[in-house]
Amino acid sequence: MSSDASRRTILRLAAAAPAMALPFGGAGAQQARRGGTLVSLISPEPPTLMLGINQTTPAAIAGGKIYESLLRYDFDLKPMPGLARSWTISPDGRTYSFELQQNVKWHDGRPFTADDVVFSADVYLKETHPRSRPVFLRCEEISAAGPHTVVFRLKEPFAPFIMLWEPSTAPIVPKHIYEGTDFRRNPANQTPIGTGPFRLREWVRGSNIEMARNPDYWQPGRPYLDGISYRVMPDASARVVAMETEQAHLAAFADIETFEVPRLKALPFLEMTTRGYEYLAQMVWIDFNLREPPMNDVRFRRAVYHAIDRDALRERVFSGLGKLATGPIHSSIPHYDPDVPRYDYDPRRAEALLDAMGLRRGADGVRVRVTLDNLPYGEVYSRLSEFVRQSLARVGIDATIRRGDVATWGNRVRNWDYQMTAIVLSQLGHPALGVSRLYISGNIRKGVLFSNTGGYSNPEIDRLFDEAAVEVDPQRRQALYGSIQKTLVTDVPVAWLLELEFPTFINRRFHNVVTSAIGVRDNFADAWMQA
């Protein structure tokens, strides 16, 4: 058997195998049982649960119980069956064929078919979805080869295509509901119809979102839970109390401020895990507006990096959660390379770099004054801003913290009205999906948040990212991404601080809650409650 034929066979066999639940939230050898309602925190309240329109974390957490995609991903980011039961990839990397699950129904009882997948990818998401649209535009043809077979033919190879299929990135929507309508104004956006294990039962704005078990779910016997209740709690202290008093059973992402983590970890009825975030692979860094001095000088950016004690930052601000970032690619996603220049905590080196720039200390000890915009995502980032401010002050950089709400901060950054700011962003399972957008010069787009807002431009980086995205040979692709990481870490367009670890707290009465790389954003079909 040829190596290519063997590869296709292995893919088919692996895809057809049942997904292994690697549970967090207790498990042991106990038998799953039916019944019970899981109460989960959610903050802030999502504007809609239609994941084709809104991909914020709260929308994905609740909407992922309603909408599904073709695949799921284990903790090592290997694909598992979702709405697709198996798949094959052609040897040239240009054709992806998915065999769909049969006997799947939409929540209104209509059958799910390949036509729904074609419509979602070729029409709906191309119009509405900022992340998946550019990927689907790489397709030469998207077609149904039968009622349960979908074929994607790409214009050129694109290895990350197999990593696209999670619910907030490529949700499959019902063609019969959306075809020929104004997608953003369709009433079904507020009464979502999906294929998932739970249906929306009630939504009391500002209070709670109630999900009920889908009795016609395509996986026999699932879901086990009768329902899920999402409680909207804007106040961080109230969220902690809700978990302490067992009014709520699940908290994830930034529901619990990091300085409260030790308090909840001490409770015997709660389990904490940091797994389930591998696909998102979120990092926090200091973003520089490279259009303005002194940020446009690489010596200044390196000095900032050397001035921050990231071990202390992790311990004092993030309660020991997180890993020191080494560069632009998170260590949990493909093509990470640790062999890059290092910027260890070294205030003397920072001062030498500033001296070399001619930024000498004045009579007040200040070399230069800059503005640091605070990331308004909770108390932990206010503490991060203060930690950075104090760190820079020690080497003579006077950073004034500028505050504002989320909208104000977003408008400043997207319109390049900033000097330095902290940013948190996801990498979406592959560098070509979640990393390249931040550094390629073609993505310097004023008014677009989470693009190349800093204005970094390097033709060599543009070329390397383009080549890596279409390279079929894994070793060659790894070499390209290795060159990307070394070049970017040398240039320091941003100062990468930490690979974030989020605490997920689960009441021990609930099992199989976190079973994949998207964690609490997954469908909870396997979750169950102990009697």
pLDDT at 264: 97
Domain extent, residue 180, equals 3-191+503-529
Q: Is residue 169 part of a domain?
A: yes
Q: Is residue 453 part of a domain?
A: yes
pLDDT at 16: 39
Torsion of CA 512, 514, 517, 519, to 10 degrees: 140
**Residues 423 and 511 occupy one common structural domain:** no
Q: Residue 283, CB half-sphere, CA atoms under 13 Å: how many?
A: 28
**Residues 439 and 292 occupy one common structural domain:** yes
**Residues 512 and 471 occupy one common structural domain:** no
Query: For residue 334, is the peptide bond before it cis, meaning its omega torsion is within 30 degrees of 0?
Result: no
**Residues 172 and 29 occupy one common structural domain:** yes
Q: Is residue 399 part of a domain?
A: yes
- Between CA 361 and CA 160 the distance in angstroms is 49
**Residues 453 and 357 occupy one common structural domain:** yes
What Å distances lie between residue 446 and 282, 414, 453, 491, CA to CA? Answer: 23, 6, 7, 22
By the 10 Å C-beta count (0-12 exposed, 13-18 middle, 19+ buried), 220 is classed as: exposed
Residue 130 has which token pair? 């900022």
Long-range pairs for 375-378: beta carbons < 8 A, 24 or more residues apart: 375/409, 375/421, 375/422, 375/423, 375/424, 376/403, 376/404, 376/405, 376/406, 376/408, 376/409, 377/254, 377/406, 377/424, 378/236, 378/254, 378/257
**Residues 18 and 48 occupy one common structural domain:** yes
What Å distances lie between residue 248 and 66, 119, 156, 238, 522, CA to CA? Answer: 21, 38, 48, 11, 19
Q: Is residue 274 part of a domain?
A: no
What Å distances lie between residue 437 and 23, 168, 278, 486, CA to CA? Answer: 33, 18, 19, 17
**Residues 520 and 458 occupy one common structural domain:** no
- Between CA 390 and CA 20 the distance in angstroms is 47
- Between CA 517 and CA 279 the distance in angstroms is 5
- Rounded (5°) CA angle 376-381-382: 80
**Residues 524 and 456 occupy one common structural domain:** no
**What is the model's pTM?**
0.87
pLDDT at 9: 35
Contacts of 215 (CB under 8 A, 6+ apart): none
**Residues 494 and 508 occupy one common structural domain:** no
- Residues of the chain short of pLDDT 70, as ranges, are 1-29
Cα 86 to chain center, whole Å? 25
pLDDT at 531: 87
pLDDT at 24: 61
Residues 207-246 have pLDDT tens digits of: 999 999 999 999 999 999 999 999 999 999 999 999 999 9
Residue 218 has which token pair? 């395509």
CATH number of the domain to which 359 belongs: 3.10.105.10
CATH number of the domain to which 42 belongs: 3.90.76.10
pLDDT at 252: 97
- Between CA 72 and CA 378 the distance in angstroms is 30
Q: Is residue 277 part of a domain?
A: no
Number of domains in the chain: 2
By the 10 Å C-beta count (0-12 exposed, 13-18 middle, 19+ buried), 414 is classed as: middle
CB 201 within 8 A of CB 210: yes
At 163 the three-state DSSP class reads helix
pLDDT at 377: 87
Q: Is residue 38 part of a domain?
A: yes
Q: Is residue 292 part of a domain?
A: yes
Residue 389 has which token pair? 């401010």
